Amino acid sequence: MAQSTEKTEVLQDILRKRQVYNCIECGKCSSVCPIGQINGAFYPRIIMRKAMYENPELMSDGLLWSCLNCGRCDEVCDLDVHFYELIKDLRAACVNWGGEAIYPPHNGGPHAWMKLMTAAERKQDRLDWINSDLKYREQGEVLYFVGCLPYYDPFFEKLKLNTLSIARGTVKILNNAGIEPAIMANERCCGHDLLWGGDVSDFKKLAELNIEEIKKTGAKTIITACAECYHTLKTEYPKYLGKLDLDIVHISEFLSENIADMTLKKVNKKVTFQDPCRLGRLSGIYEEPRNILKTIEGIELEEMQNNRSSGVCCGTSGWLSCGTYSKQIQLARLKEAKQTGAELLITSCPKCQIHFKCALYDKNVKEDSRIDIQDLVTLVSGCLA
């Protein structure tokens, strides 16, 4: 008995902090939820209801782990309910009380390697993607934060991802702009997936280790090509570790500023752009990737019907839940992309690319959803003269 009163109090605090009591159950959030449109059992309003009335029972509910944290509901809510932050806090409380994601895809493989990185003595061997024509250093003012790309390629062997081409492309772009970035030999996962999955303590361990490693490089500016790393380093690290004396920059911001000075070849392609949730709605960066695409000669940008703040999530978040609903979200979004007439779908987050490519791995997917996918960095680095 005592225990559930304590739990109820913790939950009440979370609900108050995230302004859940503002909710008037208007249902706008549910109408824009990508999962809600496919799986009738999940929608933001039902989570609100359960949070307010059922309290601790919500913790063992699988619905808690189905949310994509895409932020579409936050975007449309007029009453300023902080929905995705609510989900994050609820998951943290759930994990703190011994719970965990109910059906993590890949049997929790990605989380396992992220947790293995929390060991301080670990010395990774993660730089063999760097070709001899790429220039980098151990220390420098500008640091390139790579992310988990060296792990995604081998783990998802059958998808033939080659996400490391994003890493090579980024360094090539920076070199072209006259920068030899510092790259950490023992960089840890930014911790995004663990944080959104409620494992705050492991997230903190990764964050502390990263900050320590970054200090050794002497870097003042961190550039990353992953929307999740960007949002995590910029917004979440200060929340848990205090203000950082670092300038976090997404590659699209960097390119947007510097592309005018770059010499680019012409590329004749009609493209469309997938706004990553963590870059767009959660960080407010919409125009920079578009500026870049418009600057490249020969690129014709066609917007999808749902773009910028109404862009639709790639269907899976944090390796916490996946399945037939995610697949349908992915196929619907890919269809939307194809319908623009574009031949190439440009993304700016490796996760979007992985999830879309995984959907297309299914040989039975029809042509109306089949479109080539490429990262913004790969496109730009490919047309550097």
Partner 1 sequence: MKMLETIYSIMENEDVTLQFPDRIPKQHRITRIKESPCQTACPIDTRVKTYLGLIAAGEFEKAIEVVKRDNPFPGVCGRVCIHPCENECKRGRVDEPLAICYLKRFLADYEFRHGRVRVGKVQRKKKKRIAIVGSGPAGLTAANNLVRSGYGITVFEASSEPGGMLVNGISPFILPNDIVRFEIEGIKEWGVEIKTNTRIGEDISLEALKTDYDAVLFAIGAQKALKPNIPGNSESKGIIDFLDFLKKINHGEAIESGERIAIVGGDRASVDLARSAVRAGFDQATVLYSRSRTEMPVHEHYIQAAEAEGVNIFFQTSPLKIIEKKGRVIGIECIKTEPVFSQFGRKKPALVKDSNFTIKADRIASTINREPDLSSFKEVENFRLSVLNTFSVDPLSLSTNIDGIFAAGDCATGPKTTIEAIASGNKAALSIDAYLRDVPLKHRGQARQPVEYEVQIEYKGQQEQVEMPKLPATERNSLREVNLGFSAEEAMAEAKRCLKCGPCMECDICNSDCDKRLALLYPRGETTGMLLRVQHDTLPTIDGPLNGQLVWDRKNTLPVTVQPLLAEVITELCRGCGDCVEVCLYAAPQLTMLDRGVHISEINKDLCRGCGVCLSACESSAITINYFSDKQIEALASGSLIENKIIAFACNWSTEMTADLEQISDLKMIRVLCSARINPTKILKAFEMGARGVLGIGCYEKACHYAAVPETTKHYRVAKKMMQTLGQEPQRIRFERLSPDEPDRINKIVRSFLKKIEDLK
317 scored as a contact of partner 1 (CB under 8 A): no
Q: Least distance in Å: CB of 363 to partner 1? A: 7
Of 192, 233, 195, 239, the residue nearest 214 (C-alpha)? 233
Site string for partner 1, 60-99 (x = CB under 8 A): ----------------------------------------
Among 304, 322, 337, 376, binds partner 1 (CB under 8 A): 322
C-beta of 99 vs 108, nearer to partner 1 = 108
Which residues contact residue 58 at a Cβ distance below 8 angstroms, ignoring those fewer than 6 apart? 11, 47, 50, 51, 64, 90
Site string for partner 1, 137-176 (x = CB under 8 A): -------------xx--xxxxx------------------
What CA–CA distance (Å, rounded) separates 84 from 157?
A: 32
What CA–CA distance (Å, rounded) separates 155 from 172?
A: 25
Q: Which helix (H) or strand (E) holds 144?
A: strand 142-145
203 scored as a contact of partner 1 (CB under 8 A): no
C-beta of 107 vs 131, nearer to partner 1 = 107
The one-letter amino acid at 356: F
Cβ atoms of 265 and 283 within 8 Å: the answer is no
Coil, strand, or helix at residue 212?
helix
Q: Among the candidate windows 102-110, 173-181, 208-216, 301-309, which touches partner 1 by CB under 8 A? A: 102-110
Q: Least distance in Å: CB of 157 to partner 1? A: 6
Site string for partner 1, 31-50 (x = CB under 8 A): -------xx-----------
What CA–CA distance (Å, rounded) separates 303 from 310?
A: 12
Q: Which helix (H) or strand (E) holds 86?
A: helix 83-96
Which residues would be at the binding site for partner 1 (CB under 8 A)?
A: 38-39, 103-109, 112-113, 115-117, 119, 121-126, 150-151, 154-158, 322-328, 331, 358-359, 361-364, 366
